[in-house]
C-alpha cells in the first residue's frame, strides 16, 4: 500500500484550512531517494495526499522536504506545481552552497522556509545554521527545526538570536511524560516567549504512551493558551517511520477536542498559516 489510510473526521476543517506539515515521496523512477538517507519510505504521491485532504477539508498545503531527499528539492517543488501556488507552499532543505540566484528561484517556485532536521539524519549540518539564516533573511523565509527536546533546550538561545523567524516541528520534541515543568518544556516556552518562533502542534511524535496518541493534550493546550497567534497544525502525512500509522482524521478530531474554541481553531488552521506562508 502506498500511503496511510484515513477515515473522515467527526467535523470537517474550516474553509481554507492549511496542512502545514506533510511529505511527498516518489515516484522513485523520477525522484530517487538520497544516498545518505536513514530510512526507506514507501511512495506517497500527490493523488494519495489529495484523497486524504479532501476527506478532512484541507484546502491549503505546505509540502515539507523530507530528510530522505537530501538537498535535491525536485520532488517537493514538483508537488507544489501539481497543487498550484494558489494553495501550496514549500519548505526546502538547502546548505551553504546554494547561491542567491538559486534561492531566488526557489522563492519563485513557492519556497518560504528551510528545514534543519537534526532528528532523522541526512540534514544540513547544524554548523551552517547562522550562515543559512543570513542567506535567507532577505527573502523573508523562516528556519524550521526538527530536533529532540534535549537538543532544543541546548540550542534555544542560539535559535532565538537568528535574524529570521523559527518554526519548531512536532511540539518541540519534548515527550509528554516529562510534564510541563520539565526544563526541556520550559526552554521551549522560553524560545516561544522570544516572539521570534512558531510551533507546529502536530503532536503524536511526542506521545509517551503511543496509540491513540492522546497524552500530548496538555502540551498542545499549553501552546495554544500562551501563543494562539503562533501555532500551526499539520497532519505529518504519510507519517514516516510510524507503526501503527496514525489516521489524519483522528488527528484532526484531537485538535477539535483539545481546542474547543472555534475562533482559536480558525487562527491555528487558517489565519496563522496564511500569515506565516504568505497565502
- Which are the catalytic amino acids? 236
Which of these, 18, 42, 15, lies nearest to 28 by C-alpha position? 42
Euclidean distance between CA atoms 82 and 246, whole angstroms: 25
**For residues 63 and 87, is the Cβ–Cβ distance under 8 A?**
no
Which of these, 5, 6, 3, 1, lies nearest to 252 by C-alpha position? 6
Which of these, 117, 63, 32, 54, lies nearest to 236 by C-alpha position? 63
Euclidean distance between CA atoms 84 and 89, whole angstroms: 9
Euclidean distance between CA atoms 274 and 60, whole angstroms: 9
Euclidean distance between CA atoms 63 and 224, whole angstroms: 23
**For residues 200 and 161, is the Cβ–Cβ distance under 8 A?**
no
Euclidean distance between CA atoms 198 and 239, whole angstroms: 21
Q: What sign has the CA pseudo-torsion 188, 191, 195, 199?
A: negative
Task: Please give the grid coordinates belonging to residue 134.
Answer: 543570513
Amino acid at each position: 500500500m502506498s500511503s496511510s489510510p484515513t477515515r473522515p473526521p467527526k467535523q470537517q476543517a474550516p474553509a481554507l484550512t492549511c496542512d502545514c506539515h506533510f511529505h511527498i515521496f516518489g515516484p522513485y523512477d523520477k525522484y530517487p531517494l538520497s544516498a545518505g538517507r536513514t530510512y526507506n519510505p514507501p511512495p506517497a504521491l500527490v493523488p494519495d495526499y489529495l484523497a486524504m485532504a479532501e476527506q478532512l477539508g484541507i484546502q491549503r498545503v505546505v509540502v515539507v522536504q523530507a530528510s530522505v531527499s537530501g538537498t535535491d528539492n525536485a520532488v517537493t517543488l514538483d508537488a507544489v506545481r501539481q497543487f498550484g501556488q494558489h494553495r501550496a507552499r514549500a519548505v526546502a532543505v538547502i546548505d551553504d552552497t546554494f547561491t542567491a540566484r538559486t534561492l531566488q528561484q526557489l522563492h519563485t517556485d513557492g519556497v518560504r522556509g528551510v528545514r534543519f532536521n537534526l532528528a532523522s539524519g541526512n540534514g544540513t549540518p547544524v554548523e551552517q545554521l547562522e550562515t543559512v539564516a543570513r542567506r535567507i533573511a532577505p527573502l523573508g523565509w523562516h528556519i524550521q527545526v526538527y530536533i529532540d527536546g534535549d537538543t532544543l533546550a541546548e540550542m534555544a538561545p542560539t535559535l532565538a538570536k537568528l535574524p529570521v523567524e523559527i518554526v519548531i516541528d512536532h511540539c518541540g520534541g519534548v515527550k509528554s511524560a516529562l510534564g510541563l515543568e520539565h526544563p526541556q518544556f520550559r526552554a521551549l516556552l522560553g524560545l516561544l516567549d522570544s516572539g521570534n518562533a512558531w510551533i507546529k502542534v502536530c503532536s503524536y511524535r511526542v506521545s509517551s504512551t503511543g496509540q491513540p496518541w492522546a497524552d500530548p493534550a496538555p502540551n498542545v493546550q499549553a501552546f495554544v493558551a500562551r501563543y494562539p497567534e503562533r501555532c500551526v497544525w499539520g497532519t505529518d502525512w504519510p507519517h514516516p517511520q510510524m507503526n501503527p500509522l496514525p489516521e489524519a482524521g483522528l488527528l484532526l478530531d484531537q485538535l477539535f477536542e483539545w481546542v474547543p474554541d472555534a475562533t482559536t481553531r480558525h487562527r491555528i488552521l487558517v489565519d496563522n498559516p496564511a500569515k506565516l506562508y504568505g497565502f
